[in-house]
Amino acid sequence: MRNVFYPASRILNKEYTLNPYLLKLREELKEAYFDYEQAVELKGCWRKNSFGLAESTPLDLEIGTGNGFFFAHHCFQNPNRAVLGLEIKYKPLHQTLKRSQSLGSTNGRGVRMHAAQIDQILSPSEIDNAYIFFPDPWPKKRHHKNRLIQLDFLHTLFEIQKPGSFLEFKTDNPEYFDWTVEKMKKGPYKIERLTYDLHNSEWAQENFQTHFERLWTSKGLKTMLIRGYKS
């Protein structure tokens, strides 16, 4: 399942119907799930007021959790880090938080929101590492404006990250990867990892493959990765 980022104008704070998974999120996962309006109130104090942790605790961010395979893995493998996930679709976000909790993790939180609003819920230098995996490539040229990776967005994300942290991006779409590499080179990050074939690279052993990443690989698609650091 690809992580879909709809144009912000379509979804900003609008709930056209009461989605059944929204009810499940609010009832079953009320300690871990936050509506956009709730998330705004936590800006600058996620560690203390949401996780109940010290300000020195690392706080990582996944933009577009999809069904949550990586999110759950990251929470489980890093119990001393807090992990915040953003997802625009209710069902995948519910699956994400349930999958994480099924492993016994308590360090994950989720927000239903569009990534374009990220500076509305996070303050400068509030987060550590950020991950964006397999977003919708919006392949048609007239839709490129809807792509998540834009130069302005990279500057916004850079601003809310701490020095010494990184942004990691993966895709199986070569054209979108070239687009992202171009934007990253023009942006504020220092690129230190770049590969067009992650599974056969020097970083292959570090990579966590989700079910869908393995599926796409079995069909001959290569996973591409770029990582940029904030010095």
pLDDT (tens, 9 = 90+) of the chain, 231 residues, equals: 455 544 444 444 445 458 999 999 999 999 999 999 999 999 999 999 999 999 999 999 999 999 999 999 999 999 999 999 999 999 999 999 999 999 999 999 999 999 999 999 999 999 999 999 999 999 999 999 999 999 999 999 999 999 999 999 999 999 999 999 999 999 999 999 999 999 999 999 999 998 889 988 999 999 999 999 999
- Token readout for 187 is 């942006």
Please give the pLDDT value at position 114. Answer: 92
Place of tokens 């080179």: 185
152: left (phi over 0), alpha (psi -120 to 50) or beta: alpha
> Is the pTM here over 0.75, yes or no?
yes
**Residues noted as catalytic:** 136
Going by C-beta distance under 8 Å and a sequence separation of 6 or more, which residues neighbour residue 29?
Answer: 94, 97, 98, 101, 110
The pLDDT score that the predictor gives to residue 16 is 46
Q: Which residues pair with 156 in a beta bridge?
A: none
The radius of gyration computed from the CA coordinates of the chain, to the nearest angstrom, equals: 17
Q: How far is CA 186 from CA 125, 129, 164, 226, in A?
A: 21, 20, 19, 14
CA distances from 46 to 106, 118, 121 (A): 14, 13, 9
Distance of CA 8 to the CA centre of its chain: 16
- List b or e across 126-161, with b for residues whose CB sees 16 or more CB atoms inside 10 angstroms: bbbbbbbbbbbbbeeeeeeebbbbbeebbebbbbbb
The pLDDT of residue 11 is 46
